[in-house]
Amino acid sequence: MTISELISLLRTLHGGTNPLTGEINVPASCLREADVSAGIDYLIRKLEERETAAATISEAEIKACCESLRELGYTPTMNQVAKVFIGSRSIADPRLRAVASYKKYRGLLTRRAIRDLLGRYEELIQGPRQLGASRDEAWRTVDFFDAGDFDKLSDSKATELYREVEQLGLRKVTENLPEYMARARAHVPRAFEPWTREEKALLIEAMCYTNDSEKLAGIFGRSKSAIRQEGKRLIWNSQQKVA
């Protein structure tokens, strides 16, 4: 639908043409409310279709948003990603304002249009709809953090591990990171930091004492989600070497 066609439709509504029958010179006062509503609904749909067709949210941008959400401990959904892109006022967690695309599309795209676009990337956002995990994702089946709580980690050992993690430093210096990553580190000190061999070894050691992901997150300066994911990967890889 062209701009001129949209303008023409608006003029018919304004000038008294019945948008459903095409009958002209109908006094505006005689148009049924349902006819006007139907015409306006049609116009809205066409505008949204035009908006969606013209919009571009790249796969890379969606992927980066999902990675940021996971780093902050969330399991991304299409609705959640849409809320981030539009900067929904219902977002209560201030950490989400640190995500790169937060509020980027407010005023540019409606939530419906964003969800239509995200629908093309449902598997990227929410993961494949499979009964069993693929080989690359098989580590997700590890139930270490869900098989029953145990915690033998003393305060002194927790402090020791915390100091050893601190001594590792940061390969990605906060000052050199994009603004949204730097802001995330105000809440999660080692957010977006790659796992080194030394840090993985410390995590394995810590998991010998506890499976409390919240406590481990505090020691390692990472989100609970990051701890659970890396911990499961380490256990899975270890099991494959033994098998």
178 and 222 co-located in one domain: yes
Q: What is the span of the domain harbouring residue 35?
A: 3-54
Whether the Cβ atoms of residue 76 and residue 162 lie closer than 8 Å to each other: no
111 and 200 co-located in one domain: no
pLDDT of residue 243: 47
238 and 190 co-located in one domain: yes
50 and 22 co-located in one domain: yes
206 and 236 co-located in one domain: yes
Q: Pick the last residue of a domain from 12, 39, 54.
A: 54
Whether the Cβ atoms of residue 77 and residue 125 lie closer than 8 Å to each other: yes
88 and 35 co-located in one domain: no
- Cα 37 from chain centroid (whole Å): 35
pLDDT of residue 58: 84
Q: How far is the C-alpha of 227 from the C-alpha of 234, rounded, in Å?
A: 11
Q: Pick the last residue of a domain from 77, 104, 129.
A: 129
Q: Pick the last residue of a domain from 103, 129, 155.
A: 129
88 and 25 co-located in one domain: no
- CA distances, 39 to each of 10, 23, 238 (Å): 9, 13, 63
84 and 160 co-located in one domain: no
pLDDT of residue 53: 44
The total domain count for the chain is 3
105 and 146 co-located in one domain: no
pLDDT of residue 44: 63
pLDDT of residue 26: 47
pTM to 2 decimals?
0.54
44 and 67 co-located in one domain: no
111 and 40 co-located in one domain: no
Interhelix angle 213-220/155-168, rounded to 10 degrees, is 40
pLDDT one digit per residue (tens) for the chain, 243 residues? 455 555 566 656 555 555 445 554 445 455 556 666 666 666 666 655 555 444 578 888 888 888 888 877 777 888 888 889 888 888 878 888 888 788 888 877 777 788 888 888 888 887 655 444 455 568 888 889 988 889 999 999 999 999 999 999 999 888 888 887 888 888 889 998 999 999 999 999 999 999 999 999 999 999 988 899 999 999 988 887 754
